[in-house]
């Protein structure tokens, strides 16, 4: 299910997303009896799946990764990289593995689709996640977009019940203003960066807070970012804290940025 993507990828491109997953979802992966993660649409080279396994195993040593690609030639090219804990399979949004994964990462996959298709893709992928229980929040779908070398990245995190949060992540040394991240909004939001939509209002307010925090630039871009996030937290539901802000990240509840209508 799905269509072939361009397949462009680079080593270390998804490091910001991977580190966030390890920090926020690592405990869930550790608790899993057989913690399976899916790298959906890994592209023409298997680097992102290889790297995902390494980063997840720093927090969940029993984690396994399955790379899934819709283009058979890419799967064949990746097979020599298989090893304990890492496998590659031909498939798409149906996630053709017997397990219910604790993680599905879909980076730079939905950019080529119409906005109208996003909700159904999300629903199908969320239905494949490990379900929530009395002792577990269930699996996590992380879907988003980044630039070619991973400096700017925005993703949505979804549980079995649907979207939960939106995270903005950047290399602070390359950032002129927070709204530079607008070009990397995931498909569900990128066409909503217009007046009257919440994501446009958020980026406008973030730019204003960034400008007001200019004096903190004397202490470095990290301190300026932290100050700007502290300011926007007054009006926007920021869900994380300074430990993530120092990484050039900020996460908000999905409901605050969800498209209108």
- What integer pLDDT is reported at residue 109 of this predicted model? 93
> Tokens 């070619």 belong to which residue?
148
Each residue of 26-46: b (16+ CB within 10 Å) or e?
A: bebbeebeebbbbbbbbbbbb
Strand partners, 38: 66, 104
Kindly tell me the burial class for residue 245, based on how many C-beta atoms sit within 10 Å of its own C-beta (0-12, 13-18, 19 or more).
buried
Does domain 15-170 match CATH 3.40.50.150? Answer: yes
| Domain range list for the chain | 15-170, 172-238
φ/ψ of residue 200, rounded to 5: -65, -45
What does the pLDDT look like over 202-257, one tens digit per residue? 999 999 999 999 999 999 999 999 999 999 999 999 999 999 999 999 999 999 99
CB atoms within 10 A of CB 84: 7
In this prediction, residue 7 has a pLDDT band, given cuts at 50, 70 and 90, of low
- Are 17 and 169 within 8 A, CB to CB? yes
- Could you give the CA distance from residue 94 to residue 237 in angstroms, rounded to a whole number? 33
- Are 181 and 203 within 8 A, CB to CB? yes
What is the layout of strands, in order, in the sheet containing 64-69? 86-90, 64-69, 36-40, 103-107, 140-146, 152-159, 162-170, 249-253
Compute the mean pLDDT over every residue in the chain, rounded to the nearest whole number.
95
Q: Identify the weakest region by mean pLDDT among 4-13, 42-51, 124-133, 179-188.
A: 4-13
What does the pLDDT look like over 70-117, one tens digit per residue? 999 999 999 999 999 999 999 999 999 999 999 999 999 998 899 999
């Amino acid at each position: 299910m799905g269509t072939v993507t361009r397949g462009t990828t680079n080593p270390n491109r998804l490091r910001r997303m991977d580190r966030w997953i390890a920090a926020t979802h690592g405990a869930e992966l550790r608790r899993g009896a057989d913690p399976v993660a899916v790298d959906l649409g890994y592209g023409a080279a298997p680097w992102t799946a290889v790297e995902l396994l390494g980063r997840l195993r720093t927090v969940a040593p029993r984690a396994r990764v399955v790379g899934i690609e819709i283009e058979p030639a890419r799967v064949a090219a990746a097979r020599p990289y298989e090893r304990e804990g890492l496998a590659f399979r031909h498939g798409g949004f149906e996630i053709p593995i017997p397990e219910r994964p604790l993680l599905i990462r879909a980076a730079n996959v939905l950019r080529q689709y119409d906005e109208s298709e996003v909700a159904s893709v999300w629903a199908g992928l969320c239905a494949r996640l490990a379900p929530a229980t009395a002792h577990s929040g269930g699996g996590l779908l992380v879907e988003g977009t980044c630039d070619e070398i991973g400096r700017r990245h925005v993703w949505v995190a979804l549980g079995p019940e649907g979207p939960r949060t939106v995270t903005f992540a950047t290399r602070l040394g390359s950032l002129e203003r927070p709204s530079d991240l607008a070009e990397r909004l995931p498909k569900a939001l990128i066409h909503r960066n217009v007046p009257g939509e919440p994501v446009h209002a958020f980026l406008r307010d973030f730019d204003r807070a960034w400008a007001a925090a200019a004096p903190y630039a004397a202490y470095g871009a990290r301190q300026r970012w932290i100050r700007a996030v502290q300011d926007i937290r007054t009006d926007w539901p920021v869900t994380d804290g300074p430990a993530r802000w120092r990484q050039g990240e900020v996460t908000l509840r999905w409901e605050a940025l969800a498209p209108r209508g």
